[in-house]
Amino acid sequence: MIVDPRAGKLPTPAMLVNVPRLMTAYYTQRPDPAVPAQRVAFGTSGHRGSAFDTAYNEDHILAISQAICDYRRQQAITGPLFLGADTHALSASAWASALEVLAANGVNVLVDDRDGYTPTPAVSHAILTHNRARSSGFADGIVVTPSHNPPRDGGFKYDPPGGGGADSKATGWIQDRANALLADGLRAVKRIPFDRARRVATTGGYDYMDSYIGDLGNVVDMDALRGAGLALGVDPLGGAGVHYWAMIAERYHVPITVVSDEVDPTFRFVSVDADGKIRMDCSSPYVLQRLLALKDRFDVAWACDTDHDRHGIVTKGTGLMHPNHYLAAAIGYLFPHRPKWPAQAGIGKTVVSSSMIDRVAARLHRPLVEMPVGFKWFADGFLDGSLAFAGEESAGASLLRRDGTVWTTDKDGIVLGLLAAELTAVTGRDPGELYGDLTKEFGEFHYARIDAPATPEEKMVLRRMGPQQVTATELAGDRITGILTIAPGNGVPIGGVKVTSANGWFAARPSGTEHIYKLYAESFTGADHLRRLQDEAQAIVARALAAGALAAGALAAGALAAGALA
């Protein structure tokens, strides 16, 4: 990948989003439902886009909010809806638009009683806390966030009563209903003015901070942190949990240094990512330059993205850990130190996460559950106790409470940061050192993701690819041992393909927002072998895409011929 020369440096004034123009675009630009890029489109984490592109405007939010109200009625969801938002520029306006519709529909909405920002895990925790031991009156939620996307973007995701991201059936229904409302000029959307929506009896307050923070000792061993004498640091990156850390430090008497509590919708204090964009990606070394410069001041430190559902772990010796490395180290630590976890509870991972996790799971004699990309696939496992920990390669994870019951069913960057401190306090070794122990036991694994250009037609071919479209029999000198297009953990299509051999694997899946496909690869033998894997993987994918394009062309030609004959 070509690294932009601005990467790792603070953005120049010319790179900052013009917030007044962005807000004007939100309220004035009207989407055309006949244009695919301007329709509501739920990906793995809800609807995302920019008001500048007429992809995230007031009409979208009004339509989605009404669709969620209609979905709640269809599903007989009668409890409160927890409504939260992050620090992106578009989030406050979208939050207000949503409340206007929710209140007009008579939904009991619970908003932050401190008028603050709300991390994704705090919303999941609130939903599950309300629903625990209930047989009716279940709650659900909405989080207004595009996660770590650039400052020009907005995002809107729905959490059903399970507390995690909604499944494809639910998001598909909401998406289709929202687009129908857009096409009908929003005539069926109910709405009342914002000041009235704040004052109606169905809008109430909820102390997200106190509820979530007061419960942290049940998922992380805060007593171990209190007496360890560790120097701990956190960079909230101007995100939704920015004010949570001081309360955590005060409540549990843990010395956590917040390196900055600045909030600015331009994110001018975040260094530029590898591609030259401002992006609050806590797994990027370019983004975490501020924290990395301070790493020697702390025994362990971490950062979270804008909605605080992701984590980035920094140690003195390692620097920023690769997300896969931290997941493996965390799993290796947790199971021996959580005696109350169910004896048969397994470990969840996505199909594109490191095989080091497989090795650790086997050593622990725990079931490994491999799912498609998207944390929503792990929610049921946390709820029924069949999963004790689940993580994805993009630095998101969650785990059970210390007593073996559910904590959150969405990703929790706050807990994963505190967990890094716990395992350092308990073992006397930081997460980087614990991962080093795993490499001595299982060997060095070399993992990378690269992006390759792909047209919309090629992305469709890749999304629908079957095993028979991979014609190769060898991969980087080894016999191909498996071709997966269905996730072993739940039988759901992975939206791409994964090819395995004795010494490595690759997976390819199309991007949901860009004209690229993502190629993940891992070698169990070395960096040179990884490069060979990547080269051969790209060739395999290219052949499959070319064959798919030919087949699609032949099918179209046949349809034309049939039409002419008719």
| 127, 132, 135, 140 alpha-carbon torsion, rounded to 10° | 0
| Cα–Cα nearest to 450, from 305, 312, 352 | 352
* Rounded-to-integer distance, Cα 408 and Cα 551, Å: 45
CA angle 541, 542, 545 (to 5 degrees): 85
Active-site positions read: 147
Tokens encoding 113 = 């009683």
Name 480's bridge partners.
Answer: 501
Q: Please, are residues 50 and 23 in contact by the beta-carbon 8 Å criterion?
A: no
Tokens encoding 55 = 């992809």
Q: Please, are residues 96 and 214 in contact by the beta-carbon 8 Å criterion?
A: no
CA angle 25, 115, 109 (to 5 degrees): 85
* Rounded-to-integer distance, Cα 336 and Cα 389, Å: 13
The DSSP letter of residue 467 is: G
Write down the pTM of the prediction: 0.95
Helices 58-75 & 168-183 angle (0-180, nearest 10) = 130
Question: Over its length of 566 residues, how does the chain's per-residue pLDDT go in tens digits?
Answer: 789 999 999 999 999 999 999 999 999 999 999 999 999 999 777 899 999 999 999 999 999 999 999 999 999 999 999 999 999 999 999 999 999 999 999 999 999 999 999 999 999 999 999 999 899 999 999 999 999 999 999 999 999 999 999 998 999 999 999 999 999 999 999 999 999 999 999 999 999 999 999 999 999 999 999 989 999 999 999 999 999 999 999 999 999 999 999 999 999 999 999 999 999 999 999 999 999 999 999 999 999 999 999 999 999 999 999 999 999 999 999 999 999 999 999 999 999 999 999 999 999 999 999 999 999 999 999 999 999 999 999 999 999 999 999 999 999 999 999 999 999 999 999 999 999 999 999 999 999 999 999 998 999 999 999 999 999 999 999 999 999 999 999 999 999 999 999 999 999 999 876 788 999 999 999 999 999 999 999 999 999 999 876 555 544 445 444 454 45
The DSSP letter of residue 34 is: T
| Cα–Cα nearest to 301, from 251, 248, 235 | 235
Q: How many CB atoms lie within 10 A of CB 33?
A: 18
Q: Please, are residues 95 and 81 in contact by the beta-carbon 8 Å criterion?
A: no
Please, which residues have CB within 8 angstroms of residue 152's CB and are 6 or more apart in sequence?
17, 22, 50, 51, 52, 89
Name 327's bridge partners.
Answer: none
Helix (H, G, I), strand (E, B) or coil at 307: coil
CA atoms within 13 A on the CB side of 456: 3
